[in-house]
Structure 1
């Protein structure tokens, strides 16, 4: 399951794409700092666009913590979408790639094999998420579903990258979650191999 992702896109490019899609972006806390990062890990602070209660066609661009603590104290960085409607606190998680880990191809290799997924049609994309208050601070998590054809060879579950025409629907809680949370067409998420760190220990709900 995804516990590491990438974002190397500047804030101006992010805002322009939302404007082109007629999604109004507010920055209630000022222009967020969005440094280019090859690895965004659990508990890191990263940018999201969250829905604005009572407003359709707009979102707030803010920096928030990835994962909140579960009752057992482990970070909730992924959250099952099946059977849930998410009528509030939806968000778009900005990324230009995400990673999955598999057992090493070489038996003597101690580190897991690391795989980078990107999107065919666009340089960067959004992942479906939700955010909430936590004992420490507001935080977000990535929604998951059974793996589609691009991810299934690497993991039985996957996070949910969204096509651009789905972004406005996801930040509109009036739109049913089932109408948005779907696999992208096969071939939408090309993958390349990277050799990297072992997976983090966390909790998926």
Structure 2
């Protein structure tokens, strides 16, 4: 499951892209610190975008913790979308990449680390859900689905990567979650081994 992401997005570009999509973006807590974060991990804080209020076409950018405590204290950082109607607490998680790991090559102990970036955009959004937790306050989790063809050779699940044309419908709740929480089409994501060696071949 995805437990690490990268967020190296300039705030100006983020604002410009949301404006181009006609999604008014507010900053209720002030402009966030958008210093580059090549590694965002579970319990770290990063920016999310959510509706100002349920059903609103206006959105706000706030900084929140990734994961809330679940059963036995284990962090809930990925949340399965399958078979669920996620109508409340929707959010977008802006990233420019996320990481997955595969089994170590023969004779090695360390897993192989891969970064997935978007084939058409310098940054993208993962569908998420946020909630208030009595222990940590407001926090979010990344939604997952069955893997698309770009992810399947690497992992049996994938985070939900939303097309930009669906961002508004996700935030305002006008589209059922089952319609948007689906595998990414082939060619959406580009895998690269973090140490620079070639990606896996996809048959």
1:25 corresponds to 2:25: yes
CA deviations over 1:65-84 (Å, ceiling 9, x no partner): 00000021011000000111
Shift of 1:178: 1.7
User: Which residue number corresponds to residue 131 of structure 1?
Assistant: 130
1:193 corresponds to 2:193: yes
CA deviations over 1:150-183 (Å, ceiling 9, x no partner): 1010110110111110111110123211221122
SS at match of 2:169: helix
Contact 1:87 1:174 in 2 (8 A): no
Distance 2:74 2:185 in 1: 33
Shift of 1:55: 4.4
Structure 2, unaligned runs of 5 or more: 196-203
Matches within 5 A, 1:7-22: 7-22=7-22
TM-score (norm 1): 0.91
Contact 1:97 1:118 in 2 (8 A): yes
Distance 1:54 1:45 in 2: 23
User: Which residue number corresponds to residue 148 of structure 2?
Assistant: 148
Distance 2:187 2:117 in 1: 11
User: Which residue number corresponds to residue 93 of structure 1?
Assistant: 93
Shift of 1:56: 2.7
1:176 corresponds to 2:160: no
Contact 1:104 1:110 in 2 (8 A): yes
Distance 2:146 2:55 in 1: 31
Shift of 1:121: 0.8
Contact 1:22 1:57 in 2 (8 A): no
CA deviations over 1:125-164 (Å, ceiling 9, x no partner): 0000000001212100000011111101011011011111
Change (3 A) 1:54 1:101: closer
Distance 2:111 2:184 in 1: 26
TM-score (norm 2): 0.92
Contact 1:87 1:173 in 2 (8 A): yes
User: Which residue number corresponds to residue 75 of structure 1?
Assistant: 75
Deviating more after overlay: 150-159 vs 168-177:
168-177
Distance 2:71 2:105 in 1: 36
Contact 2:146 2:183 in 1 (8 A): no
Aligned residues: 194
